[in-house]
Amino acid sequence: MKRTSRIPNLGGAKVFVLHRPHANVTAITRQLSAIGLDVTGCWPELPPEALAADFVFFDADLGFDEQFPWAPGEAPMPVVALIGSEAPGRIEWALSHKADAQLLKPVGNSGVYSALLIARQSFAARRQLADQIATLEARVAERQTIVRAVTALSGQGIDDERAYAQLRSLAMNWQVSVEEAARRVVAITEKEGGVDQSNRA
């Protein structure tokens, strides 16, 4: 039985290295090029085309927020912090940018490949968690909207069970989901102060 490798092929990926010209950049570029990646060095800020990059390495020692075309911690790709100083302020700043991996300076002849793989997996896990949280928040919001709609309908002198049944009936009549029907009921209630049960729009 043939096993499928879980290690992704990184050849052809685009990498930006945000660091002043230095021997560390030379070492990183050499390793990245050997792996088959397309490397672009830049300083003191990332160019707009970096938004299409697959990875970004950034200097945590001299870095600052304005270097990035995104808000701290919202990079659209895996980022790797290049750390030489262990000053608490510098570490805190790197953490604020949610580095997916780190590479200690001075950079030697190895370490870049593992940093890429760790960053890629960490970024994917962080994105997946963010998506799950967004889905859960949306569900909570939908349930709250349903509760508000049921409350609006029950305010017409019926109990909650019958109000929910009416909400489902409205959804069927409007040919929409219960959640969408609830949003419409809430919108009508807020706009007109009541719900017209005969509304079929």
Domain range for 73: 14-110
Residue 120 lies in a domain: no
In this predicted structure, what is the pLDDT of residue 131? 83
Sorting pLDDT into bands at 50, 70 and 90, what band is 67?
A: very high
Of 51, 78, 110, the one marking the end of a domain is 110
**How many independent structural domains does the chain possess?**
2
Residues 60 and 28 in one domain: yes
Residue 102 predicted with pLDDT over 90: yes
Nearest CA among 31, 50, 51 for reference residue 40: 50
Sorting pLDDT into bands at 50, 70 and 90, what band is 199?
A: very low
The CATH code of the domain that includes 39 is 3.40.50.2300
Residue 197 predicted with pLDDT over 60: no
Residue 91 lies in a domain: yes
Mean pLDDT of 39-52: 95
In this predicted structure, what is the pLDDT of residue 200? 40
Residue 61 lies in a domain: yes
Residue 144 predicted with pLDDT over 50: yes
Residues 25 and 83 in one domain: yes
Mean pLDDT of 12-17: 94
Residues 19 and 98 in one domain: yes
Give residues with Cβ within 8 angstroms of 139, minimum separation 6.
none
pTM of the model: 0.70
Residues 30 and 102 in one domain: yes
**β-pair type (38-42, 79-83):** unpaired
Residues 106 and 138 in one domain: no
Residue 5 predicted with pLDDT over 70: no
Q: DSSP of the chain, one letter per residue?
A: -PPPP-SPP-TT-EEEEES-SSHHHHHHHHHHHHHT-EEEEE-SS--GGGGG-SEEEEETTT--GGGSSS-TT--SS-EEEEE----HHHHHHHHHTT-SEEEESSP-SSSHHHHHHHHHHHHHHHHHHHHHHHHHHHHHHHHHHHHHHHHHHHTTT--HHHHHHHHHHHHHHHTS-HHHHHHHHHHHHHHHSS--TT---
In this predicted structure, what is the pLDDT of residue 141? 84
Sorting pLDDT into bands at 50, 70 and 90, what band is 6?
A: low
Residue 198 lies in a domain: no
In this predicted structure, what is the pLDDT of residue 158? 79
Residue 95 lies in a domain: yes
The CATH code of the domain that includes 166 is 1.10.10
Residues 18 and 80 in one domain: yes
